[in-house]
Structure formats: C-alpha cells, structure tokens
Amino acid sequence: MQEGRLRRFASLKWIVVKRLSVLFSAALLLIALLIYLSLQYYFDGIREMRQHQQAIQFSSMLESRMEKYAIAGQFVSSVIGYNSSNKPDIQEIESLLNSYRHFINERFEIGEITLYSPDGRLVSSWGTRLSEHDFNKLHQPIVDKFMQSLTPEMQILCENTCKQHAMVGLWANFELVGLLMFGAGLGNFTTEFRDFVGSEVALIQKSANNQDQAENNQLDRYFELQIPGSAFSFASVSDQEIFLKAFEKLGVNPEFNSARFVEVFDHQYELSYQPASFGDLSLPFYLVFLQQIDKELELVTSFLQILFIILISCAFLVGTFLFWVIGEPMNRLRKITSALPLLGKQRFDEFQDAIGKPLFTAKSHELDLLHETSYLLCGRLNRLESEIDAQTDALTNSLAERDREADFVNNLLDSAPLLVVMHCLDGRIHRVNEFGRALLGLSDNEDSDEFFPAIFNTDDSIYLLKNLEQVIRTESKLTNNNGTVFDVAWVHRRIRGESENEYMILSVGLDITEQKNSQRKLSYLAERDTLTGLYNRNKIRLLISQFIEQNESGALCYFDLRYFKLINDTYGHKFGDQTLIEVANYLRDIFHTEAEVGRLGGDEFAVLVRNSTAREVIAKIRLLNQSLKEVQISGSYFQLPISVSAGIVEFDQSTDSIDTLMHQADCAMYEVKARDGETNWHVYNGSERMLSYLQDSVDWRKKTEQALLEGNFRLKYQPIVNINTGAVSGYEALVRMIDEESKLIVPSKFIPFSESDGNIGRIDKLVMNKALSDFPILLRQKPDLELHLNISAKSLTDPAIVSLLQQYITALSLPAQQIVIEVTETAAINQVNIGKHYARQIVELGCRLAIDDFGAGYGSLTYLAEFPVDKVKIDASFVRMISSSEGSSRLLSSLSQFCIGMNKVTVAEGVEDVDVLNMLRDMGINEAQGFIFSRPEDLSDIIEANFYQYDIADINATQNQKQRMSGR
C-alpha cells in the first residue's frame, strides 16, 4: 500500500448488501425466463402464418404472368386483324410478328416467341438457342394439349434453369389462324416475389447427375447456377450472394421442415423450405425463403435489456437502503481507525482532514467521544511539531545568510565579464577577479607586490577619493597576454575593507574597444568617400573653411569626367565604379601630399592646393588628362575615351566666404563645358557664362511667351534616309522661333529655358498640332513616309498629349504606325516610372517610340529594355567622334550590335561627311540624318522638290540633282 493512503478493507455492511442483492436478482431472472418462452411461442405462430401467405402469393403471381401472356396473344390478334382484311396466311403472320417482336419483348417482358400453324406445325421461333428438332420434342406436349382444348395452356420446364411457357391462339374473324407460345425465365420472378413478400426468395432444383446428362440438356444449358457442396442448383434467385453464404453455413436440405437461423453479412435470417405448386400441379423445384429477423431479435434483446436494467436497479436500491441504514456509523469508525497510522508519521494535517472536524456538542454515543478526542490530540501534537520546526528554520536561515554575505564579493568578482580590481590606498593590488587575471596573465596570489597604476596604466588621482559616495571615471589602454591592445573604461569608488577602519579602492573596468573602433570608423566615414577613399564634400568644405580662417593662399579645382555617364550606363555601374577608382589613383599619384583631394559625388572631384597658383594646377590637370588617355579597365578590350573638364579658382587672404569660392570654381567648370571641348580647363575671371545665365533665362522667357502669344513659331522638316537604299524613310519636325527681326532661332537657344520655366508643354502641343496637320500633305507625296515628333520630359507624363494624338489620328485617319514620338534619353530616365505608363498608352494607339539624342546624356542600355522603343537616335556629338576616336568607334559599333539583337532601328544624327556615313553603314546603322543629305526645310520646299531617293554611292551628285529639281 502506498504511503499516505488510508487502509482499505471489507466491512460487515457490504457482506449484507451483497447477499440480499443476489437473492433478489435470482427472482427477477426467473420471471425473465418465463416471459422469454412466451415470446418464442408467439413468434412461432407468426412464422406459420407468414409461410401460408407466401404460398398463396406464389400461385397468384404465376396466375398473373399467365394473364399477361394472354393479353400479349390478344395484342398480336388485334395487330393481325388491323393489318389484314381477309384471313391472313401464316407467312403474313410471321412477317407481322417479326416486326412487332421487339415491342412484345419489352412491353410484356417475354424472352421467347414461337409461331405455329393452325395445325400445330412449327413455323418460326425467336429467342431460343435450341435446334428445331430439340425444340419440337420439348414443347410438343403443350401444343397437343392446346389443340385439344383451344384454351391457353401453361407449362414450367426446369432443366438447370426454369422457364414458364404459355400457349395462346391467334384468332382472325373468329377463325384460328395460328398458335403462339411465349416463354420467359423465372429470374425476375423471384425479384418481384421478394419485393412483394419482403423476404429473399430462391427457386432450387436437382442438378444434372453426370456430365453426359448435362450435355444432353435441351433447355438453356448455359445458365446453370450450381450450389457448391450440394446436389441442387438455382433455377432463380433474388440475391444469389446471400443464399450462397447461408447454404455454406447450413447446407441445402429441402426436406427439413423446421425453420433454421443463420447470420449473413451482419444480419440475422430465418431459412425455410416449401415445395412449389400451382393449383393441383406440382412444380419441379422448391421455394426457399430467407426472412430477415433483425427487428424481432432486437425486440427480444431490448426486452431482456430492460429486464436486466430493472434487476440492476432493484439490486442497487436495496443495497443503497442497507448502506444508508448502517453506513454512517461504520464509516466514522472506519475513518478514525484507518487514519491513526498518520499520527505516528507526524502527518497531522492529513489526519485531521481524514477524520473531519467534530461538532463539539453533547455526545450521543462512544463514536462522538472517540472522534473529538482524536481530533484534539492531533492538534496538540501538531502545534508542538510546528514550534520545533520554526526554531530549526531560524537557526538554518541565520547560518545561510552569513554564508551568502561572505560569498557575495567573491561571486561578483569571479563571474562578471569585467575587470574588477580591489587595491589598497597605496596602490598595491589586493585582489583581481578571475576574468582579469586570465585576460592579463596575472598570478592568483592575493596581496601581491604589483601596483594598480603600473599594471592598468592609470594615474594616481583615484587615490584622492575621500568619501564612499564619490566616483571617478577614467579610460586607459591595456595589452593582454596575447599582445592585443584594447580600450577600457574605469569606474573607481572607495569602499570599506575587512576591518572597521580599513578602506580600499574598488575599480571596475569595461572593455570598450568595439565602441572606440566604431567611433573611429564613423569618423572616417564622415569625411571619406566610401568608393575611392578620397575626402568627401563635407571634408573638402571643412578644409576650405580652415584655409580661409588661417588666411592661407592657394587654388581650388573642380572637375568632372567627360562621357562618364555614357560609359557608366552603357557598360554598367561596376565599370563606372572601376573608372572612378582608377581616376582617384591617378590623382593620388599626381598630387601626392601637395594637395587635399576629394570626390564631391558622381563623377565630380575637387583638389585643394595650398600655396599654389592656377598655372601649377593647370600643369597637373594636363598630366592627369594625359594619364587618362591610357585608362583601360580590367575586363574591357579597349581604352575608354576619358578626359576632364576642370574649373580653377585662386584664393588668398582676401577670400572670406567658402560658398563664394566653391561657386566660383563651379562657374569655371561650367564654362569649360559650355565651350564644348575647346579646352579642358578654365581659370575663373568673373566673366563666365553662368553668371549671365539667370539674366538670359528671364529674357528668353519673355521672348518665348511673346512668340507663343503671337504664333511666331515655324516648323522645318529634315529627311531621315535609309543608309543602305538611299530612300527617304521619313521627316523629323523641327521647331524654329521667329524673333523681332524675322530671323529664325534654333531650339538650342530657347528650349533649355522653356523646360525650366514650364513653357515647353505649350511648345510641344503647338508643334504636334502643326506637324499632324501637315502630315496628310506628305503622305500624298509618299504614302510610306514616317513623321518624327519630339516631346519633352514634361510632355511625356502629360495625359493631354496622348489625347491630342488620338484626336488627330481619328479625325484625319492618319496611319498611327508611321508616327514616331521621339523622347530624349534624359526624359526617359528621369520619368522612367511615370513615363513608361504614358509611353505604353502611345504605343497602344499604334504609334512608335524613339530615344532621341542617345549618348548625349546617360545613354543607359537598361532603358532601351524598360521603354517600348522601336528606334534609337544616336546624338550628333557622339557620331562626330567616331572618325577621330577609335574608342568611340568601337563603342558605337557595340551599340549597333546591341540594337540589332534587340530588334531596334538605329538612326545616326548630325552626319555631315561621306567617310562617317560609310563607317556608319559598315557598323550596321540603319538610317542617318544630317546636312550631308539636307538641312531642315519648309514643307512647301519639300513638296516642290518632290525628291525622296538619294544615291548613296555618289552622295554629292545626289545633292546637286536635288538642288536642280528644286530650282535653286
């Protein structure tokens, strides 16, 4: 028995309860047996009545089938009478019967039909497998019987299977014109019988005795259903599987008169046999019935269950009554005696819970006195035990607290990943924690001769601590036993020693090497360019500010790289980054420590030279340009055409503003770009073009708005020629402004200012209105001409442009696929996200897109894939370089191959001489545009000249021919 559980044993009350319950249960079982026998007698009577009703129903169903056959004979007689006015011969009857036999088969469920002549001769038979001889031999008795009585006759033949045959007469005009015999198996008979009586039915017969007899059977020997392990076979069966299972368990014994019971497929059945008869005629088979009796058995079972429940309930009630009478006193005594061992084990609370609290009232008998005495004794023992435990716990806690206080300092010193050092006021180390000793390789001895300032590189200021609340913080560098130097942040505090008047210094050090390294790294990143390692813009500004504050003199140079964006976006950012790194390396080699060099961002650099002149800086810039001509990035097969555009400004003690100085350097660099390659540098002198840019912007805005108001814009058209065929493929519409003196102003003068002041959208719509109105005139001259229209970055994202295009295409029935919208590469890149949306809308109208001035700006091949572009127009400045720069020639050739691979047409702009034209054709460029063919002309001059074919082999002769045709 497990410790703590009350002891269990049988008591007298349970013995009395059990014996009385058994006696009462035996009486109830006897009553249940008598009732069961009565039920069995009742069910036997029901079974006999059911068997009698089944025999009557069997005869009734055979009679019903005979009536159906008689109706079938009447139907055939009616058909004969309807189709023949006179007495028909037997051949006519055979023909009619052959026509209606399928209907008869289906309507009356007849399997065999046999026609006899009025004298009993076989004429024809349908549905039988027997030979004529066998058929006559088998059915001649029924024929003879009918000929004697001239009334319908029936016979049932059973050889392996049973079939019912009926003979009826065919009458026409009250004369016998033929005999009909119908035959049908009894297969569906058992199914119908089962549906009516509600039990499974089988017809069984004696099987053939031997093989010879089986082979001589004349009636459907192919369908015998033999019952395994017996001399019987099925003639017909409603559910063969159930009967086979029942016969397998009980065997086949038709002579057995009593019903037998069998379980088949989880159901209980009653099996019974009856001889088959029809009136006075005994049939050659037995009727076998399988009646499902699950419900009857369930009824008996339910009744027995009820009896069993009544028995159990009565036994329970008797036992409960006895338990109530003697249970309470016996339980109290049993609780007390079972719980007494708990007192010896000092489990007082469990004892009191087991016996319960007494009422402390007048005692009615000895059990009350025993209960109260046991409870009070347990309480006194419990209080005595509690007092002893409390005194023991107090003593144990006092000792444990003292041990914890003694171990606290040791655990703190040894477990923390900190340098914890206790040292005396004279600097001598008293103790170092385990982490510190392992880190610095110190000995484990306490009270060593080593001193804290010498070991940990601190000064003596910490020993000036006078009170326990004051804290001093210091930092120092330490070298561990592996030779690694690290930074430590110290916190020093005065503490009491082991004696009352003894004081010591507690120093706790934290490794802050990682934080220091991060600070140094952040400081480096704050003033350095991460790609090149040069100073960044902020550092350059700081250095310039320091030079100005110190009244130093020198020179500041700003420069950027020409064609860098083209190289960067054509070959990828990796190529561009490598180029910037190479340039930074050249700057370090050329300027050494003589100057402060920085990268301002992108491809812009700055050089700040102390105590130097512009002349000296120019010499360095020349050397840099000379070096950059030989730049070849790893992975490329040609040298990149890199040069710098440098702006230089000198400064001295009079310079007082960093922003002014940097602006002047920026203006000087812009001047170099404005001169478009005349020189690679410019020294600021106060006359730079950028200074007049703002004034020009104001002037051009006024002129543009006046021209828009007065309609002072004119369109010129320049041809685009197929390099291979010389045919004019289209015209580009170019806008010109008319000034006050009626002179034409080219777009490069006013377009940049219009883009900044917002007038460019109005100009784009004016050009589009005029050009689309002129386009039908050009189409009448040459129907396959293309019209090229330029739109700005702003118009690329203007929904009105798409709407305007759609209006003209619809109103003038313009061929949308011959309208090419040219978008500058800068516009495509700057508006890539929004621009793609409207670009697709333009393409959905049927128009085509072209990237204009490719190579003048970013030149990114990525955007050729991003935009639905059909044409790429290469900028004139890029085209002009191919005859003088091998690198540019190779770059343009690569671009051409790329466009061919992307199935895009390439157009070279600004072609002015034959050599460049031939080079472009060899590179695979498709079309060209430039002065070599024609300057931009008025529409009227183009119509008058009516010239749309150039001789590429002799381009000069072609130009002369065109001039003669135009009369100029």
Torsion of CA 188, 191, 193, 194, to 10 degrees: 170
Q: Do domains 1-341 and 712-966 have the same CATH topology?
A: no
Q: Which tokens hold the place of 750? A: 């006013």
* Percent of the chain topping pLDDT 90: 14
- Alpha-carbon distance of 859 to 865, in angstroms, equals 12
Q: 191 with 199: CB under 8 angstroms?
A: no
Tell me the pairing of strands 905-909 and 927-929: parallel
Q: What is the mean pLDDT of residues 804-822?
A: 93
Q: What is the pTM of this model?
A: 0.37
- Alpha-carbon distance of 481 to 488, in angstroms, equals 15
pLDDT at 856: 59
Q: Where are the domains of the chain?
A: 1-341, 346-406, 416-516, 528-687, 712-966
Rounded to 5 degrees, what angle do the CA atoms 633, 637, 642 make?
A: 50
Per DSSP, 172 falls in state E
pLDDT surpasses 90 at 733: yes
Tell me the pairing of strands 713-722 and 848-854: unpaired
pLDDT surpasses 50 at 213: no
pLDDT surpasses 70 at 1: no
Q: What is the mean pLDDT of residues 796-812?
A: 89
pLDDT at 210: 45
pLDDT surpasses 60 at 767: yes
pLDDT at 779: 93
Q: What is the mean pLDDT of residues 275-294?
A: 76
Q: What is the mean pLDDT of residues 723-737?
A: 93
pLDDT at 678: 62
- Alpha-carbon distance of 866 to 809, in angstroms, equals 26
Q: Which amino acid is at 679?
A: T
- Alpha-carbon distance of 851 to 822, in angstroms, equals 6
Number of H helices, E strands in the chain: 30, 30
pLDDT digits 0-9 by tens, 22-52:
776 677 677 767 776 776 677 677 777 777 7
DSSP result, 409-422:
HHHHHHHSSSEEEE
pLDDT at 409: 59
- Alpha-carbon distance of 952 to 658, in angstroms, equals 58
pLDDT at 223: 46
Q: Is the dihedral of CA 382, 388, 391, 396 positive or negative?
A: negative
* CATH code of the region 528-687: 3.30.70.270
How far is CA 828 from each of CA 502, 565, 572, 788, rounded to the nearest angstrom?
Answer: 82, 15, 18, 17
3-class SS letters over 202-227? EEEEECCCCHHHHHHCCCCHHHCEEC
Rounded to 5 degrees, what angle do the CA atoms 100, 101, 103 make?
A: 70
pLDDT digits 0-9 by tens, 609-658:
988 888 999 999 888 888 887 666 655 555 666 788 899 999 988 887 88
Tokens 């670009």 found at:
839
Secondary element (H or E) of residue 54: helix 12-83
How far is CA 896 from each of CA 571, 899, 931, rounded to the nearest angstrom?
Answer: 14, 5, 22
CATH topology of domain 416-516: Beta-Lactamase (3.30.450)
- Alpha-carbon distance of 859 to 879, in angstroms, equals 13
Q: What is the mean pLDDT of residues 753-758?
A: 75
pLDDT surpasses 70 at 798: yes
Residues 6+ apart with CB under 8 A from 375: 352, 355, 357, 358
Residues 6+ apart with CB under 8 A from 501: none
CB half-sphere exposure, 581, CA atoms < 13 A: 11
Q: What is the mean pLDDT of residues 48-60?
A: 73
* Percent of the chain topping pLDDT 70: 81
**Domain 1-341 CATH superfamily:** PAS domain (3.30.450.20)
If one counts every other C-beta atom within 10 angstroms of the C-beta of residue 270, the result is 18
Residues 6+ apart with CB under 8 A from 15: none
pLDDT digits 0-9 by tens, 910-967:
998 888 999 999 999 999 999 999 999 999 999 998 888 988 877 755 655 555 555 5
| Pairwise pLDDT comparison (904 vs 563), residue with the higher score | 904
pLDDT digits 0-9 by tens, 576-619:
888 888 899 989 988 888 889 999 988 899 999 988 888 999 99
- Alpha-carbon distance of 885 to 839, in angstroms, equals 35
pLDDT digits 0-9 by tens, 303-323:
777 877 877 777 677 667 766
Q: What is the mean pLDDT of residues 422-439?
A: 79
Tell me the pairing of strands 161-172 and 225-226: unpaired
DSSP three-state, residue 914: helix
pLDDT surpasses 70 at 325: no
- Alpha-carbon distance of 713 to 764, in angstroms, equals 11
How far is CA 709 from each of CA 568, 743, 759, 791, 943, rounded to the nearest angstrom?
Answer: 43, 17, 12, 20, 29
265: left (phi over 0), alpha (psi -120 to 50) or beta: left
pLDDT digits 0-9 by tens, 370-388:
777 877 788 787 788 787 8
pLDDT digits 0-9 by tens, 87-117:
787 887 877 787 777 777 777 778 788 888 8
What is the pLDDT of the chain when averaged over all its residues? 78
CATH topology of domain 712-966: TIM Barrel (3.20.20)
pLDDT at 697: 67
| Pairwise pLDDT comparison (629 vs 540), residue with the higher score | 540
Phi, psi of 643 (to 5 degrees): -150, 170
Q: 802 with 842: CB under 8 angstroms?
A: yes
Among residues 922, 935, 933, 846, the alpha carbon closest in space to that of 890 is found at 922
- Alpha-carbon distance of 288 to 310, in angstroms, equals 41
